[in-house]
Amino acid sequence: MLFPKRSLTLCFKNSRRGFTLIEIAIVVAVIGILSALAVINGESLLPDVRTREAAREFAKYVDYMRMTALRNNRETRICMDTYDSAPATVTSANQGKYILYVGDKSTNSNNWDLMPGDLYDNSADDDSSQAVIDISKAGNHHKIKVSIGDWGSNIGGPYTGNKDCIVFSPRGWVLNPASDFNGQGFIEITFVNKITRSSGVNHDYIVMIARSGMVRIDNQKARLNEKYFSGTEYDASE
C-alpha cells in the first residue's frame, strides 16, 4: 500500500521529536535525588574508612618495627604517647600519637634512638621524621574525627623505662610481660570512630598484637557477636 508523500513526511518529523521540558525536568530531578543520596551515604562511610585506615597504618608500623629488630639485631619499640580522654565527644579535638624507637642493644637496651636510628651509624641523629606518628588535627598523619583510645595501665612494658611501650626482640618476639596481654593473648590498641561514638554506636577498630609479633585487625561491631572455637575467641577480622 502506498502512502501519500505528505503523510510520510509528517510521520518522519514526528519520529524525530525530542524530549519535552517536563521529561527533562523529571530526569534532572531524579539525578539530583540520586546524587544527594550518594553524597549522604558517602559522608556516613568516611569516618569508618578513616578509622580503619588509621588502624591499618598502626598495624603496618608494628610489622615495620618487628622487621627492623630482625634485620638490625637490635631491640625496637613503639611507645604509645597520647590518647583521647573524651572519645564520645565529637566537638572535642581528636587525639592520638605513638613514637618509634630503635635500641642500642639486642637485649636490655640502655638508650633509645628515634627512628630511623641513624645515631648509631654515624653518631648524629640526622633524621627523625619517621619517628612520630600523630593522627591529631595538628599532627603529621591527621585523621579527621579518629582518635586512639585509652589503653589505661594495660601496657607496663618490659625492663625499666618502657611503660606504655611495645618492645620487640631481634627474634621478632614481643618482650612485654604476660600481664600486658589480655585473656586471648593480645596487646590491643583501639582506634576510635568519634562520629559513631558520639551517636552512641561503638564502631572502633582494634589492632591486636600477639606475643609472636604477629598482628591482626578486628572491629568492635563484629565483637558484638563473639564466637569461640576450642576456647579461643574469633570474629570478623581483617
Provide the CATH number for the domain around residue 163: 3.55.40.10
**What is the reported pLDDT for 98?**
97
Q: Is residue 92 part of a domain?
A: yes
Report pLDDT digits (tens) over 29-42: 777 676 655 544 44
Give the pTM: 0.75
Say what the pLDDT of residue 200 is.
85
| Torsion angle of the four alpha carbons 133, 139, 142, 146, in this order, in degrees rounded to the nearest 10 | 80
Residue 140 in domain: yes
Residue 41, domain member (yes or no): yes
CA 165 to chain centre: 19
| Matching residue, cell 591482626 | 216
User: Is 10 a member of any domain?
Assistant: no
Antiparallel, parallel or unpaired: β 97-103 and 132-134: antiparallel
pLDDT of the residue at 182: 92
Q: The domain containing residue 71 runs over which residues?
A: 20-234
Instruction: Specify the number of domains making up the chain.
Output: 1
Find where cell 573524651 sits: 86
Residue at 7 is within a domain: no
Question: Which pLDDT does position 30 carry in this prediction?
Answer: 72
| pLDDT-flagged residues of the chain (< 50) | 3, 8, 10, 12, 39-44, 119, 228-238
